[in-house]
Structure 1
Amino acid sequence: MNTASVSTMSSIRPTINGLAKSSKPILWKHPDPDSTRMAEFMRRVNQKYDLDLQTYEELFGWSIDQIGDFWTEVWDFSGIVAEKKPLEVLPKDAPLFPRPDFFAGALLNFAENLLYPANVSIDPSSAAIIEATEIGNSTISWNELRERVRLCAIAFRLHGVKESDRIAGFLGNHANTVVAMLAAASIGAIWTGVSPDTGVTAVLERLVQIGPKVLLVDNAVRYNGKVHGSYQKVKDIVGGLRGLAACVIFETVKGFEMKTAGLDPDNGKAWTYAEFIQSVDNPAAHLDFNHLPPSHPLYILYSSGTTGAPKCIVHSAAGTLLQHKKEHILHCDIRPGDRMLYFTTTTWMMWHWLVSALASGATIILYDGSPFHPHGELSMPLLIQDLRITHFGTSAKYLSILEQKGVRPMKGPEKVDLSSLTAIYSTGSPLAPSTFSYVYEAFPSSINLGSITGGTDIISLFGAPCPLLPVYPGEIQCKGLGMAIEAWSPDGIAVGEGQEGDLVCVKPFPCQPITFWSSESSEKGQTKYKEAYFEMFTGVWHHGDFIRFEKGTGGLMMLGRSDGILKPSGVRFGSAEIYNILLKHYPDEVEDAICAGRRRDTDADETVVLFLKMAPGKICGDGLKNGIKAVIRKELSARHVPGVINECFDIPVTGNGKKVEIAVKQILCGMNIKVGASVANKECLEWYREWAANH
């Protein structure tokens, strides 16, 4: 096909091969796929490389076959600000491990790319950030954001912060957190965030490992209509850290005490933020961006730490930036001036994903508070209405709660106006097929509902939304561009569509972690890194999720974590399949559930044990248990039927609301485990220990 004919190509086909074979209902299709940024990107690729790519499946194939060309085009199309462009994207035949050096020779700064995004026109007086709380909202313009970052960066430098120093935020999701992170990144320091609802032990489990030079904290936190002071927690954290040069307190809750007495960093002092900024001797200094190699560390994130100390995962500046811009611009079709809210804590990787939307010229909404206050289940819909939010992200659990409660924000007496909304994104756990249908009934049917998956390990997505593809119930729309993921059997063989397997990635990608942080040695960090991802399948990234690619659609079904896979009689399946049945058929009776396999040394086979947390006033009787078993047998198979169904009083979860299935499984199997401080309600695990001892 010649280049002249490409530029006048009539249409991008919004389908993939075999689409007609699917019997699932289509919940959504983009009304004008040719108008999307992804279609524009495909036309650009066709013209430059003399290709005839017309479907997403074809574009994806090119993106993983021609890795260097693909990431070069993403770099240029998305607009990366760099002092020097890369000499090469990726060395020829580079392995996944050791991590290859993507974009060698380039020099750039992450903060500069977020504060001065390229390829977009932005009014500097327009909103960069909108802070939203339970009691009101405030707007920070692009000019104001840049000025606040400048002052914070000057203060950091004055107090000795330099490249690769660690800066920690024990902070909520507000503008000061973004300011401090960008100020750290402008210098080349490494940012790490921990949400203020995290317990002291869990905070120290993380921060002691990395030794931050500066700790920034809130004076208090407002949640669900109440103010919670932070002083005692901060005092205990500061007392547990060595080498801390400064503890800086933000007046997050106005009028609440700003107490520095008794906070004694062992290598410096405590400051209010106002004092910290006023301590600089050159307040008119420019905001300087240190231009650094692409693999320079930017963030430290943490593994869940549910059965031991969390692992400290180090992410690179360029890998994070490029991957997020690809996802925002191409997969989410975000444009300058769009408004994105992701309901998240500062610990979760989705906070980092949200903040990166600045690099695409979007306005980010930072919500700090309960999603159900002050207007109950309508709190978030009303915020979407009032702030004219275009892209709303949340957890699958939040959407399932709305589904169980039958919330219809547009149809109730309030008649909430959600016409600004173009997309809803869901992650944290699999989104049930019934919840897909609920969202399209309760929210505008024109939205792209993107169930997405990836994680802390890659600070981004493997499974992504796509404006060129339909949405089907229960399915993640597509493999993300440039992410060569497959489903593998335990013996290391790729399985076909319709078959379950472990999620692996078989080719390098730029958002691979640099290493795991280790205070002992870099070799120790690399050893931990290899053990985490490359032990099960040599040379191939093993992500730890159990998945299936659907026949006829190519969509991705998340079935649970690999380490929590259920294997009665050798048949492997994921807990998500059981949860989907409960949500579909028993939303009024069962509030929540956790499913785990039990096989002790004396057991000949694994038994599937299902624990039910009943809704208020509901009884877990034989009728309910038999009904659940019957519907699971009918809709799944006899192998899926739990051998034991029992009522429980609570479900153990992490601070981000993820079920701690592996800890329950280990307890049921009689293992003596140490439960990490990351389990938000770990006291409930004692109940499971008692149950296991008596059954």
Structure 2
Amino acid sequence: MPTDEQIDGSRVVHFARWLGSQGIVTLDDPRDYRELQAWSAAEPARFWEAVTVYFGVDFGAKAAEVLSSREMPGARWFHGSSMNFAREMLKHGDAERDAIVLVRDDGHRESVTFGQLREQVAAVAGALADRGVGQGDRVVAYLPNCIEGVVAFLASATIGAVWSQTGMDYAPTAAMDRLGQLDPTVLIAGTGYLFKGVQQDRRDAVAELRVLLPVDALVVSIETGGVPRDDTTPYDVTWEQLQHFSKPVTTAVNVPFDHPLWVLFTSGTTGRPKGIVHGHGGALLEQLISPGFHMDLGEGDVFFWFTTPNWMMWNAQICGLLHGATIVLYDGSPTHPDTGMLWRVVEELGVTVFGTSPGYLQASARDGLEPGRDQDLTALKLIGVTGSVLPASSNQWVRDHVGADLQLGSMSGGTDIVGIFVASAPNLPVYDGEISGPALGVALEVWNEHGNRLPPGETGEMVITQPMPSMPIAFWDDPEGERYRDAYFDVFPGVWRHGDSITITERGTIVIHGRTDSTLNRNGVRLGSAEIYEAVESLPEVTDSLVVGVELAEGGYWMPMFVVADAAGDEDALRARIVETIAGRTSRRHVPDEIILVPSLPHTRTGKRLEVPVKRILQGAVPRRVASMGAVDDVEALKWLIDFANKRNGVSDVSRILPTDAYDDWRIYHEQDLPRVLSAALDVFAEKGYHGTTTRQLADRSGLSVPGIYHHYKSKQDILLDLMMVIVDELIERSRFAIAEAADEPRAQFDALVSSMLLFHVYRRKGAIVSTSELRSLEPGNRRKYLERRDELQAMLDGIIDRGVSTGTFDTPYPGDAGRAIASMCAGVATWYRPEAPLSFDPLLDRYLSIAEAIVGVR
């Protein structure tokens, strides 16, 4: 419970009193957060206009209207106004005061003052402008957490360019999946990063990313992570050169309120990452109130939130500069050389606001840390927590082992708004296991599936009924806004559905139960996974867990829990303790059907559990269609779960496709499921060739407009690649099934595989032509993707031939050449064969199968 002194000294209460003094609204009690929040939600235009005045936002041009319409999507904020996010970020902070401090887990530290930061931003902005970068151009980064990344972002925003980045722990292909969508003008790349005290050299990864990008971007090289630049490092200009030979830009360009500021990408675990575009004005207003009111951040504060450039909290943390606070960046592992590392940073830098995750607090508890005893934390006034649900036990641990009077502020929002929907506040009490209330300016309600508002105490969908300026201005490459509407407004038209299952309590606090698409629903009873996680991870030997609810094909329901635990000890005894703990802290209904001990568990790059992808894999979905290996932090952990699912489902191979009775009708991508654009491309590319086909022809053949084509695909190149991947996917899955059905000996498997390849090319003649003759049309990065997939088929064939040679079934001195010759022969059939030809299928297959057998020398 906050003291009277803390309440009266908070900025949010000062704001409430200021509202009355300005005649904007007179509240019955300016100290009452809930009264202020209710007004802010009911009167969004008046509230957000007051925020701009209170914080002194410098508008180049005033708005004709604050909120043009309350319709969602489509609400338009501060229409006609102009401003610049970077200008607001740099106008606070004494020149000699530290603006940014970088800490690495090997002990290295460096810093820049506010004065130095302003000079560096002006210099880099000038250099970018001299190279033709201007409003709307994209500047992207492949960097670790570093000071230069903040400088580059602010320089880009200064001249109206659009910023996006990924961390260097992403593989080049995963980084390209995100940054490549933007057709960047400039790529700013580091040389490496630090993790657990070890330098991770990423110079080769940068070289690969440069080749994969669809455009020839200017590459700026920065030495990061202690990895030096050398003669093989790919770059056009160094970071040092960028700052020294151009006239600095000291006056930020005014851009419209909704001019794109940055593009943040979704995790990409279940599909192509979506680029969420936020505007200068919306991001600014959100970051004025999130740290300014809810964290009470101001000049003199030291703001440290452990994050990476892959997570929206990087964007949120650097906005501490907006309030004149010193921000602390961290490069490395939060638990190296030990779990107490972050607490020591808090002590040594005099951190006043420390942001972390529930996982770090739980790790600190498990390892027996005593930060309140062993560190001087007198400067610390708030611990902010987000990323997952904060268990009630963590509140108690903080009181007992960190500070009894320290505010533990749990909050939740997302990449969608780069901000918060629910949070703590300096004038609100904190209750264990609950979030203090809706954030200012958020019209939050709980609805059932029929769109009816639920009373306090009942659980349902979290919805936002009034527009917020921080809502995305668009999704990237979504000109008609279809994907944007589908993401948030498909269930309740005109109302934002966020996808969280929550309860508003009688006292106005919020309990988050988890994502609605991964909600546990056992026998009609909805269970919160957060309660189960809190229970099981209270055990000191448990380090991670994942629980999912799997609807089975026969109508059953299976609720397994995967647990990572210390290796020592009796596994059966551990399972018994887990059952007892869950039942004791929640109910018997919450106890999983099965507890499976695993070596590790995968997460998104921002640390979130993969509940939905794992659920779908266990239900039998093809793994690569529900989870991307490049978007998880532990590929081997995901592969373990895939193998587990295959064994449980009785699948000996990754193929999950069963044939129909008619082999020629069996297709993974049935005609009715093949997207219209790809179906049209299959015909037109085969008829006219790739280079002879225009986008207009594809549009006419598919019945779409040209903008409709570009709604689905960025370019004709992307259409070709997608089509070729569909074709090769079908070929590989068909072949895997054929091998699995054959007897377990080389001759039978060889005949089955070759027959499968021949049949495929006969029945998909047009597709086979496209997949072979148009390979040269693919760009190098896309060509590599296709060839890597196609090589899986060649590997299957080569493996069977090698086994046949080793067992004496085949007699060829050149197994590799034989395999390539057979693959070429099978593809070549499609160049001349016609289904209406007089030669029937059986003689055709017999003839070419005998040729294939002759090539390998069947004994």
Q: If the length of structure 2 is used for normalisation, what is the TM-score? A: 0.72
Shift of 1:631: 4.2
The equivalent of 2:73 in structure 1 is: 97
* Alignment equivalent of 1:245, drawn from 192, 217, 227: 217
1: distance between equivalents of 2:522 and 2:443? 31
The equivalent of 1:4 in structure 2 is: none
Matched, 1:180 2:156: no
Shift of 1:499: 1.8
The equivalent of 1:484 in structure 2 is: 443
Counting only pairs closer than 5 Å after superposition, residues 57-96 of structure 1 correspond to structure 2 as: 57-92=34-69, 94-96=70-72
**In the alignment, is the contact (CA less than 8 A) between 2:304 and 2:327 conserved in 1?**
yes
1:411-432 Cα offsets, whole Å, 9 max, x none, are 2xxx311101011111111111
Shift of 1:660: 0.7
Counting only pairs closer than 5 Å after superposition, residues 330-345 of structure 1 correspond to structure 2 as: 330-345=293-308
* Alignment equivalent of 2:619, drawn from 669, 684, 689: 669
Matched, 1:522 2:473: no
* Alignment equivalent of 1:472, drawn from 408, 412, 431: 431
Matched, 1:653 2:653: no
**In the alignment, is the contact (CA less than 8 A) between 1:302 and 1:310 conserved in 2?**
yes
The equivalent of 2:96 in structure 1 is: 125
The equivalent of 1:36 in structure 2 is: 10
Shift of 1:242: 2.1
Shift of 1:629: 3.2
Shift of 1:275: 2.7
Shift of 1:108: 0.3
The equivalent of 1:10 in structure 2 is: none
3-state SS of the aligned residue for 2:601? coil
Shift of 1:223: 2.1
* Alignment equivalent of 1:497, drawn from 456, 459, 478: 456
1: distance between equivalents of 2:279 and 2:193? 30
1: distance between equivalents of 2:566 and 2:389? 21
RMSD: 1.8
1:149-198 Cα offsets, whole Å, 9 max, x none, are 01101111111111111111111112100100000000111100101111
**In the alignment, is the contact (CA less than 8 A) between 1:314 and 1:514 conserved in 2?**
yes
Uncovered stretches (5+) of structure 2, i.e. residues with no partner: 649-859
* Larger of the two Rg values belongs to structure: 2
The equivalent of 2:391 in structure 1 is: 432
1: distance between equivalents of 2:310 and 2:576? 41
1: distance between equivalents of 2:313 and 2:435? 17
Shift of 1:659: 0.9
3-state SS of the aligned residue for 1:151? helix
Uncovered stretches (5+) of structure 1, i.e. residues with no partner: 1-25, 264-268
Shift of 1:29: 5.3
1:250-295 Cα offsets, whole Å, 9 max, x none, are 12245x43136473xxxxx6222123334x3x43x44231101110
The equivalent of 1:271 in structure 2 is: 237
Moved more, 636-645 or 156-165: 636-645
3-state SS of the aligned residue for 1:445? coil
Give the letter for the 1:301 counterpart: L
**In the alignment, is the contact (CA less than 8 A) between 1:563 and 1:662 conserved in 2?**
yes
Shift of 1:573: 2.1
The equivalent of 1:601 in structure 2 is: 553
The equivalent of 1:543 in structure 2 is: 498
3-state SS of the aligned residue for 1:486? strand
1:407-466 Cα offsets, whole Å, 9 max, x none, are 11232xxx3111010111111111110011111222122322111100101110001120
Matched, 1:259 2:230: yes
Shift of 1:131: 2.0
Shift of 1:636: 2.6
* Alignment equivalent of 1:680, drawn from 616, 629, 633: 633
1:202-225 Cα offsets, whole Å, 9 max, x none, are 111111211111111112212211
The equivalent of 1:383 in structure 2 is: 345
Counting only pairs closer than 5 Å after superposition, residues 179-578 of structure 1 correspond to structure 2 as: 179-254=151-226, 256-259=227-230, 261=232, 263=234, 270-278=236-244, 280=245, 282-283=246-247, 285-374=248-337, 376-411=338-373, 415-518=374-477, 522-523=479-480, 526-551=481-506, 553-578=507-532
**In the alignment, is the contact (CA less than 8 A) between 2:177 and 2:272 conserved in 1?**
yes
1:551-576 Cα offsets, whole Å, 9 max, x none, are 3x321112111111111112122211
| Change in 2 beyond 3 A, CA 1:136/1:87 | same
2: distance between equivalents of 1:233 and 1:167? 18
| Change in 2 beyond 3 A, CA 1:410/1:637 | closer
Give the letter for the 1:272 counterpart: T
Shift of 1:63: 0.5
**In the alignment, is the contact (CA less than 8 A) between 1:614 and 1:620 conserved in 2?**
no
Give the letter for the 1:441 counterpart: D
Give the number of equivalent residue pairs: 641
1:363-407 Cα offsets, whole Å, 9 max, x none, are 111122222234x12211111111111011112211111111121
Shift of 1:106: 1.2
Give the letter for the 2:350 counterpart: R
| Change in 2 beyond 3 A, CA 1:459/1:260 | farther
Matched, 1:625 2:575: yes
Give the letter for the 2:546 counterpart: I
3-state SS of the aligned residue for 1:259? coil
1: distance between equivalents of 2:307 and 2:135? 28
3-state SS of the aligned residue for 2:526? coil
Moved more, 195-204 or 626-635: 626-635
**In the alignment, is the contact (CA less than 8 A) between 2:94 and 2:115 conserved in 1?**
no
1:484-514 Cα offsets, whole Å, 9 max, x none, are 1122222222222222212211110000001
3-state SS of the aligned residue for 1:89? strand
| Change in 2 beyond 3 A, CA 1:359/1:88 | same
Give the letter for the 2:510 counterpart: L
Give the letter for the 1:451 counterpart: S
2: distance between equivalents of 1:429 and 1:448? 18
**In the alignment, is the contact (CA less than 8 A) between 1:78 and 1:326 conserved in 2?**
no
* Alignment equivalent of 2:140, drawn from 164, 168, 190: 168
Moved more, 536-545 or 292-301: 536-545
Shift of 1:339: 0.7
Between 1 and 2, higher relative CO (CA 8 Å, sep ≥ 6) is seen in 1
1: distance between equivalents of 2:485 and 2:400? 45
* Alignment equivalent of 1:592, drawn from 544, 567, 571: 544
Give the letter for the 1:101 counterpart: R
Percent identity, please. Answer: 34
The equivalent of 1:640 in structure 2 is: 590
Give the letter for the 2:59 counterpart: A
| Change in 2 beyond 3 A, CA 1:684/1:143 | same
1:623-670 Cα offsets, whole Å, 9 max, x none, are 443443344344433432212222122111111211111111101112
| Change in 2 beyond 3 A, CA 1:685/1:368 | closer
2: distance between equivalents of 1:196 and 1:550? 42
| Change in 2 beyond 3 A, CA 1:390/1:607 | same
Matched, 1:582 2:533: no
2: distance between equivalents of 1:159 and 1:127? 30
**In the alignment, is the contact (CA less than 8 A) between 2:104 and 2:332 conserved in 1?**
yes
3-state SS of the aligned residue for 2:124? helix
Shift of 1:139: 2.6
| Change in 2 beyond 3 A, CA 1:262/1:639 | same
| Change in 2 beyond 3 A, CA 1:667/1:188 | same
